[in-house]
Chain A
């Protein structure tokens, strides 16, 4: 589905991604884990075309997309939900979702897509006519994801969906992401909450200062002693586990 081969990306003179390779197979939920500044967000932005890499290859559904304009990449079926839930606060939930369906001209199809999203995130149906700005953080995050799902993309890039959410709310968001994968969506998830990300994902990559240092099934990485110490924290409350 998605394949990066030795990607190098710079911010000015700063070499941010130093030869990143990764792949996401159809139907897979893959997590990209690492500390602040490791280059996770840059990786997502490079994939969706917001930043141009200087070297390397990016293939999406078998087509090279490196250097392609972001809007063209979206049309190929790649949706990017950036960090910080950027919903349109002054618009209703319904309007926000309609905007997400801008690629589709047929209203009936858009409405059908909204219903599909609403069935995935029932809370959005309840809040249908509320202004997005009045939603809670978790609800806004679901709206942001829902909006990205409107065109039913082939691949969803999620950047820190749990950022700034209370643990119990983050838990609900992670549950929704897992459900989305169960519905067949292919997802690349960037998360600082490594434990939760490893719990719901199939495979994961560990990044450190612009380089990959490990790849493997999430199950293996979850009880990996070094990863536990570095990213999972000892005696840390398991967010993913229900209270």
Chain B
């Protein structure tokens, strides 16, 4: 049996499929009319395939349109993808991608209002009310995570504590003294907090903390259980990405059988990451999202790179919105370490800069005993990298580590290895080896 619960927007979250699809069609047509008129990228893309927005007679026709990739967004840096003049834009964020140009995303006043409401939905779905104190331990800055959740928390009238990141001892003091009931952060950071609590001799049972709402990095049931057991809380998953909006795209309800997707604002498709073919409900593939209410930064068939599946069966909570399974991983080269998107190809130029050559390399991501993400970079030793003095080699490795940290935002462990252990053939040797578990709830 499911758990009865409050619903933020009954009129939208519990529509019949029929009503929902009519609304989606109306909003999709309006969105396509707007992007065709206002975004040169889409004008060109549509013209190239001889498509006119009036050709969309039903939702299925969406599949004739080409995908939009992260590369397309990066090429539009900074504002080329905006569908409204800058004077209509009230907020600007950037995606955490570090590929040459990050994607700059904008929001109109209306976009911000929708965003608040969608975050309010996912908070309400896990039982947050105006009586809660919510501590946001995400980086307040260009990323969408912190601000997105922040305004949604305010929207439902709960107290938001913008703790931001870092200084875990201070986070713990806030947790304890401000009587935080809800913690918002990455699951990895929640475990870090648990560690520090223990070190400070604070019993988690004495805290007011009831629940954690986590996202921002791939995680699994094992990690969920670990946090729940160490902090004595219930833990919920949510999903969002800056290119599409930020947090609020999808979130779990109390039943925790998948994340309800805001289908009245986004149309989801699951496609085969290789062929791009649409896959039937239930199969795992790449999530493709089309925004149907966004004004400043609409995206059409955006390839998220995230692997999941779609479930349109009824949820005991009463919401009729389809659910996606927790993200099972990524199908592109991007690897998310400590919440930071890393493109492995960016390591090459750094190696060349520091060593004067570009040796074969491989990224290895795993977790330590405390479930903290670890980034290792395996570099093939060649003559150019061979030094007779250990000292000289150590200096070079230090420089590399520092340079990579400054560029990617994550400090790596550097391993110099035999070339044969990586393989120089990029066809067979993966650029990234991700050793973190990927089994997910509801998958």
Contacts and interface: CB of A to CB of B under 8 A. Distances in A.
Interface of A: 3, 5-6, 8, 18-19, 21-23, 55-56, 205, 208, 211-216, 220, 223-226
Given A211-B33, A213-B33, A220-B113, A22 B57 contact: no
B26 interface: yes
B25 interface: yes
A213 B34 contact: yes
6 contacts: A5-B22, A6-B56, A21-B22, A23-B26, A224-B109, A225-B87
Contacts of A23: 19, 22-23, 26
Nearest to A55: B57
Contact of B56 (A19, A22, A215): A19
Interface string B59-90: 00000000000000000000000001001100
A18 B22 contact: no
B159 interface: no
A118 B316 CA distance: 49
Contacts of B113: 220
A225 B54 contact: no
Interface residues of B, number: 25
B53 interface: yes
B84 A226 contact: yes
B370 to A, nearest CB: 46
A128 B297 CA distance: 56
A224 B110 contact: yes
Contact of A18 (B26, B30, B54, B108): B54
A205 B29 CA distance: 12
Interface in B167-221: none
B57 A56 contact: yes
B367 interface: no
B58 interface: yes
B30 A19 contact: no
Q: Which 8 A-B pairs have the closest CB atoms?
A: A18-B54, A6-B57, A19-B54, A21-B26, A211-B33, A212-B30, A213-B33, A21-B25
A19 B33 CA distance: 10
B88 A225 contact: yes
B120 to A, nearest CB: 15
Given A19-B54, A213-B33, 11 more contacts: A5-B25, A5-B57, A6-B56, A6-B58, A19-B56, A21-B29, A211-B30, A211-B33, A213-B30, A216-B110, A226-B84
B401 interface: no
The residue in A6, A18, A56, A208 that gathers the most chain B C-beta atoms within 10 A of its C-beta is A6
Contact of A212 (B19, B29, B55, B57): B29
A8 B54 contact: yes
Given A21-B22, A23-B22, A215 B57 contact: no
Interface in B264-319: 293
Contacts of A55: 57
Contacts, number: 62
B109 A225 contact: yes
A8 B88 CA distance: 32
Contact of B27 (A208, A215, A220): A215
B295 to A, nearest CB: 8
B53 A19 contact: yes
Given A19-B53, A19-B57, A56-B57, A215 B84 contact: no
A208 B33 CA distance: 10
A116 B326 CA distance: 57
A205 B33 CA distance: 13
A212 B26 contact: yes
Nearest to A229: B88
Contacts of B108: 225
Contacts of B30: 211-215
Nearest to B56: A19
B110 A19 contact: no
A31 to B, nearest CB: 14
Contacts of B37: 213
Contacts of A18: 54
Contacts of B26: 21-23, 205, 212, 215
A85 B258 CA distance: 55
Contacts of B87: 225
Contact of A226 (B23, B29, B88, B293): B88
Nearest to B37: A213
Contact of A5 (B33, B34, B58): B58
A211 B29 contact: yes
Contacts of A3: 22
B8 to A, nearest CB: 15
B84 A19 contact: no
Interface in B32-60: 33-34, 37, 53-58
B294 to A, nearest CB: 12
B29 A19 contact: yes
B90 to A, nearest CB: 9
